[in-house]
Every structure is written in structure tokens, then in C-alpha cells.
């Protein structure tokens, strides 16, 4: 996180006294969704902290007066008269929190006005958000008017986490200061070729527009390209957003027609043809936008994924740099490249020799595009119930990406279900690190544990340390590295999760439950501990059922608790309950 400006001090003037405040919230005449939400959050937390409800004033009824008491949220008429020099850019989440006399302005680019509210709450009420049902907010009966000149640029401009709730819950997403789900801000995202040219509509009459096996488009077909461009323009007119993914289908196939094979041979890798195609589409649609929608800025995104992961570059030993194979593979100014480090070892950083192929791909793509995005992973897709050991590397990896200038980061997780793998902790830590990559992962873990688990924080920290130590053993003794994709049957083996390990986890959880017995928040804390304990019960049910006195009763109880905690599936794409049968 970079503070562009950071000036704060308190005046002697009252903002709040005797349960009264003269301040009113002002929104633009036609506020955006982010502006409305920012105003709602300001009013909600101000009331929670003071017991005072903030009134609203219409934008049309206010005048710019340094003596007036206004909370101006977003691009109001007051903000226009402030003459801020902030450049608003839909591709960034820059925060602007400034004052002029008594007036306080919450604005920024992207979702910045919302994050300006949270920055204000931090200054005035020591606000800190940890999870849906856990935040810190100091009560105040007296407040002074602050002088503020704060502008903040998060280390990674656009941030998104692919957990169940961070894909679906807008309030939660915003309070974590992510600001985005995978799909927010996107006209189209992910694998879009067949959404743009659906096979059910085009294939019968134009089979040559598709690869011979029908698994992808034929990018060397000029007729297909023209209809593809027309459809992209049609989609842009029907949807809001600033990013448009031009992404191949989710497989390891590519068009094998003679023209495509010739092009791929020319570039050396399939990504060369993808970049040529993406640049041509972006150029054509870009010209169309200038003529028909000059107010819109759209960035087109190519997918460096599976068959197109390797960049179209050559290594120049004399300069120690990668260079584009040809000029036409260099991304146009309105083109980004989203890189998917599919086979990374996530227990270590991207620059480690275990991730040499990832490191070289990153360096290569930097020679192709000034605008890079990352789709990384932070769960085991074949088994959501097993711990993902990335805590030792995630902070460094985010710093590497920030240093690369990555503009958008989506860290894909257990999107299909809530999971008992400290997911609330993970979401907090990862969101904080995306915002400020200089933060210490271990400090963030400690801060969260103390807030979220209360009296059980030491015991739950110990549970996490047991999990992390176990993965270190698996890597050292069995060369089982922390991949996001691994065969289910390979991992579910007694060699890896010994009975002694399961017993040690159960002992640690017993201590955690014991530690909260006298807590005033006992029921809440027990519920949080019980959710994480489900992962240990799963290991015993799956690997050591003979040690369970009443196996059928435990299976029934586990099924009930799955519903209680929202454990909808235990692996991607299937009902993981089958694993217990």
C-alpha cells in the first residue's frame, strides 16, 4: 500500500457532542452502487459507534461552504467544486479522504469511496474488520472535526478472492476491502470463446470456425474472426464493465487445423497465435468504441492458461532478457494478459527453483504486456477438507506480483462451498496482504486469532502450526508438494495423515473447547472452533473409521454438521460425501 498523501490531525471543533451532530451525508443525484453502499456503511457504523443517526441532504440543495457540515460521498456537486487533482480510473481502487474546512469528502477511483469510509472509521473509531461476525469499533460520545488529506493506492489495484462468500456476498467483499468478486467489473470473464460464439448457434453451419475436435475456436479463420468481433461489440453494448476476457475454453486442447499448426510453428508456442488474434480483435473493437461509445474504456484480456501458458518469447543471453518472437505478439495498449500459474508449488514463492517454470513464464510475459493479471490458487480442488499450506509464501508471492505491476489478482479457492480450513483467517490475511504487501503474514495471523477465537487463540494457533508442520513433513519425506490440483486418492493415505497426527489435532481441539468454557462469548467461540474441528473428524472418518465407537452415529452427525456449517461439497465438481462411503 502506498500513501500518496497522509495528513491527519484533529481540530478543536466538535463533530459530535451530547448525542448530536450537525453532519449530513450528501450523495450525487444519480449515485453509483459503490457510492450508495459507501453512504450506507458510513451511516451504519457511525450509528453503531455513537448511537446517532446521520441525516441526508440532497445534492441539489447544498452549497460549497467550508463552514458547512457535510459528509460528501462520491462525485457530488460539492466534490466537483473541490477541484481535486485525483485522476479517476476504473482500473484502480485509489482512495481519497480529504477535508475542506468542516466538509469531509469520501471519494476515489474504482471502489475508492467505500474504502475511504473505512479509512475514516479507522481514524475516528479504531475500526478493524476481521470477519462477518467479528469487527472492532470503539464507542464515542465526543468527536472532533479532523483535518484530512489522505490518498491511498493499494499495492494490487484490483483484488479478488475465490472463496464461497467472497464470490457471493457484496457486503463481505467490500468490508474486506477486496472490492471485487471474479465477475464484478467484467463484461465477460474466464472461458468466453463459446459464450461469444456458442456452438449450438454456429457450429452446424460453420464447423470450420471451430477446432477439428470441437474443443476450441479456430483462431486462423478470418470469417470466424469477423463474427467474433461483431459479437464482442454486441455484448459490450448490453453490459457494463471495463474488462473483457477473450479466453479459450477450459481444456488442454488447441486447434489442430493446418493453418493454426502453421501459425503455432511460426511462433513456437500456441500463445503467439492467441496474442495475434487478441490484438486484432482489440484493435477492431477499440476503433468501434471510439466511434460509438467514446466514454467507455475497455481492456481486453488474453488467457495464458494451459496450452497458452508459455509466452511467445525468446531469451537473449547477451542482454539477459526475454524478447518477443515477433512484434505482432506484443500486447496492444488496450490488452492485458492473465497468467495462470497452474502447476505452482504454493508452499514456496514464485521465484524459488521449485517454481522455475512459473518464474520464467512471468519474466517472459512481462516482455509481452505492460498490463498483467494473475489467476492463482489457494485450495486443494480434489479435497477441500485438507489444509492448504501457503501461509509461508503467500505474502512474498503477493509482493512479487505487486513488483511486477500486476493490475488484477484473483486467488481462486473453494468457491463451491464453505470449508473448515481456517477460511475466515485466510480471507482476512489474503485481503490484507493484497492491499498492503509489506504486512507480516504471521502478525496478521496472530491479530486475527486473538480477535476471532478469543480465549482459544493460543490453542487454535497451535492447530494451525500442526497443519503447517505436517505439510513440511510431507514435502521433505514424501515429496508431496503444495499443489492446488492433486489426485484425491494420492493424498488420502494413512502415510500422510497418521493416526498420531489425527490424535494430536483432536487433543489440541479439546484444549480449545476447554479454554472457552467460561467465556462470555462461549457459544459463538465454540461454534467457530467446531467448524474447524470438522476437518479432523473427516480425517478420522475417512482413514480410521475402525477407531470410532459408533461409526454410523458419527457419520450421521457429520452429515448434519456439514449442513450447519455450509460444507456443501468436499471437493470441486462432486458431492464429497461419497468419500465417506
Query: Could you tell me which residue, 570 or 518, shows the higher pLDDT?
Result: 518
Per the CB < 8 A criterion, the answer to whether 12 and 144 are in contact is yes
176/89: higher pLDDT: 176
By mean pLDDT, which of 49-63, 87-101, 519-533 is the weakest?
87-101
The more confidently predicted of residues 338 and 92 is 338
**Mean of the per-residue pLDDT values of the chain:** 94
Residue 455 has pLDDT above 80, yes or no: yes
Determine contact, residues 236/289, Cβ cutoff 8 Å. yes
Distances from the Cα of 105 to the Cαs of 8, 143, 372, in angstroms? 14, 17, 32
Model pLDDT for residues 433-450, shown as the tens digit of each residue: 999 999 999 999 999 999
d(CA 384, CA 535): 9
Cell (9 digits) for 28: 450525487
Nearest Cα to Cα of residue 91 among 392, 367, 398, 296: 296
Of 106-120, 175-189, 309-323, 538-552, where does mean pLDDT reach its minimum? Answer: 175-189
- Mean pLDDT, residues 243-253: 93
Say yes or no to pLDDT of 210 above 50.
yes
C-alpha dist (Å) from residue 291 to 130, 284, 286, 300: 46, 11, 9, 18
Lowest average pLDDT, out of 6-10, 309-313, 525-529, 569-573, goes to 569-573
Residue 575: pLDDT band (50, 70, 90) is: low
Interatomic CA distance for residues 147 and 50, integer angstroms: 20
Does the pLDDT value for residue 328 go beyond 80? yes
Q: What pLDDT score was predicted for residue 183?
A: 77
Instruction: Give residue 570's pLDDT.
Output: 86
Evaluate if residue 573 carries a pLDDT over 50. Answer: yes
Q: Is 70 exceeded by the pLDDT of residue 349?
A: yes
Q: Is the pLDDT of residue 214 over 80?
A: yes
- 165/489 Cα distance (integer angstroms): 28
Q: How far apart are CA 323 and CA 316, in angstroms?
A: 7
- The pTM of this model reads 0.95
Size of the chain in residues? 581
CA quadruple 82, 84, 90, 95: dihedral sign:
negative
Model confidence at 181, pLDDT cuts 50, 70, 90, reads confident
Cα 136 versus chain centre, distance: 23
Question: Lowest mean pLDDT: which of 49-58, 76-85, 285-294?
Answer: 76-85
Q: What per-residue confidence (pLDDT) applies to 572?
A: 84
Average pLDDT over residues 359-386: 95
Using alpha carbons, select from 190, 184, 195 the residue that is nearest to residue 158: 184
pLDDT value for 427:
98
Dihedral sign, Cα of residue 277, residue 362, residue 90, residue 412: positive
> What is the arithmetic mean of pLDDT over 68-91?
89
> pLDDT value at position 563?
94
Q: Report the percentage of the chain scoring pLDDT > 90.
A: 89
For the cut 80, the answer to whether the pLDDT of residue 285 exceeds it is yes
Q: What is the reported pLDDT for 225?
A: 98
For residue 487, name the pLDDT band (cuts at 50, 70, 90). Answer: low
Average pLDDT over residues 511-528: 98
Q: Which of 384, 401, 289 is nearest to 339 (CA)?
A: 401
Predicted local distance difference test score (pLDDT) of residue 574: 63
Tens of pLDDT, residues 155-173:
999 999 999 999 999 999 9
At 289, the pLDDT band (50, 70, 90 cuts) reads very high
pLDDT value at 10 more than 90 = yes
CB atoms within 10 A of CB 465: 13
- Spatial contact of 446 and 461, defined as CB atoms under 8 Å apart: yes
Confidence class for position 578, pLDDT limits 50, 70, 90: very low
How many degrees, rounded to 5, is the angle at CA 181 between CA 175 and CA 187? 135
What is the mean pLDDT of the segment spanning 43-64? 97
For range 462-489, the mean pLDDT: 88
pLDDT exceeds 60 at position 79: yes
Q: Above 70 in pLDDT, residue 150? A: yes
Q: What's the DSSP call for residue 412? A: E
Burial grade of 272 (CB within 10 A; 0-12, 13-18, 19 or more): buried
pLDDT score at 387:
93
Could you tell me where the beta strands, DSSP code E, fall in 237-293? Answer: 243-246
When pLDDT is cut at 50, 70 and 90, the band that residue 182 belongs to is confident
Read off the pLDDT band of 581 (50, 70, 90). Answer: very low
Amino acid at each position: 500500500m502506498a500513501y500518496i498523501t497522509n495528513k491527519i490531525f484533529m481540530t478543536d471543533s466538535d463533530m459530535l457532542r451530547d448525542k448530536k451532530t450537525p453532519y449530513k451525508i450528501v450523495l450525487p443525484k444519480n449515485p453509483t452502487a459503490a457510492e450508495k453502499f459507501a453512504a450506507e456503511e458510513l451511516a451504519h457504523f457511525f450509528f453503531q459507534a455513537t448511537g446517532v443517526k446521520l441525516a441526508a441532504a440532497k445534492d441539489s440543495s447544498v452549497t460549497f461552504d467550508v463552514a458547512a457540515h457535510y459528509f460528501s460521498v462520491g462525485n457530488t456537486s460539492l466534490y466537483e467544486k473541490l477541484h481535486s487533482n485525483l485522476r479517476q480510473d476504473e482500473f484502480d481502487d485509489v482512495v481519497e479522504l480529504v477535508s475542506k474546512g468542516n466538509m469531509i469528502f469520501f471519494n476515489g477511483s474504482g471502489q475508492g469511496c467505500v474504502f475511504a469510509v473505512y479509512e475514516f472509521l479507522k481514524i475516528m473509531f479504531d475500526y478493524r474488520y476481521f470477519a462477518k461476525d467479528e469487527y472492532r469499533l470503539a464507542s464515542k460520545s465526543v468527536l472532533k472535526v479532523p483535518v484530512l488529506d489522505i490518498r491511498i493506492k493499494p499495492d494490487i489495484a484490483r483484488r479478488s478472492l475465490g472463496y464461497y462468500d467472497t464470490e457471493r456476498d457484496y457486503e463481505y467483499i467490500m468490508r474486506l476491502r477486496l472490492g471485487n468478486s471474479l465477475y464484478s467489473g467484467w463484461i465477460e470473464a474466464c472461458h468466453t470463446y463459446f459464450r461469444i460464439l456458442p456452438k449450438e448457434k454456429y457450429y452446424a453451419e460453420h464447423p470450420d470456425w471451430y477446432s477439428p475436435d470441437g474443443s476450441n475456436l479456430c483462431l486462423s479463420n478470418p470469417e470466424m474472426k469477423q463474427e467474433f468481433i461483431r459479437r464482442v461489440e454486441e455484448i459490450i453494448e448490453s453490459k457494463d464493465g471495463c474488462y473483457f476476457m477473450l479466453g479459450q475454453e477450459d481444456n488442454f486442447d488447441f486447434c489442430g487445423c493446418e493453418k493454426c499448426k502453421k501459425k503455432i510453428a511460426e511462433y513456437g508456442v500456441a500463445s503467439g497465435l492467441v496474442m495475434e488474434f487478441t490484438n486484432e480483435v482489440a484493435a477492431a473493437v477499440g476503433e468501434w468504441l471510439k466511434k460509438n461509445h467514446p466514454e467507455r474504456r475497455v481492456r481486453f484480456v488474453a488467457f495464458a492458461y494451459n496450452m497458452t501458458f508459455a509466452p511467445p518469447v525468446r531469451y537473449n543471453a547477451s542482454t539477459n532478457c526475454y524478447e518477443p518472437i515477433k512484434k505482432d505478439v506484443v500486447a496492444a495498449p488496450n490488452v492485458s494478459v492473465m497468467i495462470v500459474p497452474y502447476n505452482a508449488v504454493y508452499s514456496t514463492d514464485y521465484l524459488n527453483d521449485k517454481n522455475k517454470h512459473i518464474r520464467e513464464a512471468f519474466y517472459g510475459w512481462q516482455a509481452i504486456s505492460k498490463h498483467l493479471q494473475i489467476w492463482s490458487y489457494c485450495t486443494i480442488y480434489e479435497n477441500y477438507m485438507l489444509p492448504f499450506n501457503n501461509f509461508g509464501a503467500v505474502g512474498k508471492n503477493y509482493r512479487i506480483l505487486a513488483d511486477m505491476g500486476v493490475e488484477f489478482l484473483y486467488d481462486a479457492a473453494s468457491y463451491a462451498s464453505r470449508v473448515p480450513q481456517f477460511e475466515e483467517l485466510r480471507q482476512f490475511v489474503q485481503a490484507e496482504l493484497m492491499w498492503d504487501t509489506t504486512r507480516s503474514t504471521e502478525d496478521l495471523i496472530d491479530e486475527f486469532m486473538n480477535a476471532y477465537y478469543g480465549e482459544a487463540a493460543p490453542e487454535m494457533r497451535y492447530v494451525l502450526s500442526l497443519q503447517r508442520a505436517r505439510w513440511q513433513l510431507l514435502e521433505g519425506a514424501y515429496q508431496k508438494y503444495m499443489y492446488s490440483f492433486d489426485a484425491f486418492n494420492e493424498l488420502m493415505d494413512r502415510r500422510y495423515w497418521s493416526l498420531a497426527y489425527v490424535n494430536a489435532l483432536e487433543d489440541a481441539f479439546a484444549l480449545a473447547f476447554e479454554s472457552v468454557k467460561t467465556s462470555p462469548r462461549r457459544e459463538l467461540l465454540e461454534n467457530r472452533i467446531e467448524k474447524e474441528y470438522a476437518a479432523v473428524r473427516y480425517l478420522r472418518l475417512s482413514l480410521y473409521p475402525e477407531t470410532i465407537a459408533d461409526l454410523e452415529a458419527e457419520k450421521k452427525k457429520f452429515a448434519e454438521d456439514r449442513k450447519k456449517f455450509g460444507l456443501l461439497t468436499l471437493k470441486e465438481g462432486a458431492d464429497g460425501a461419497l468419500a465417506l462411503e
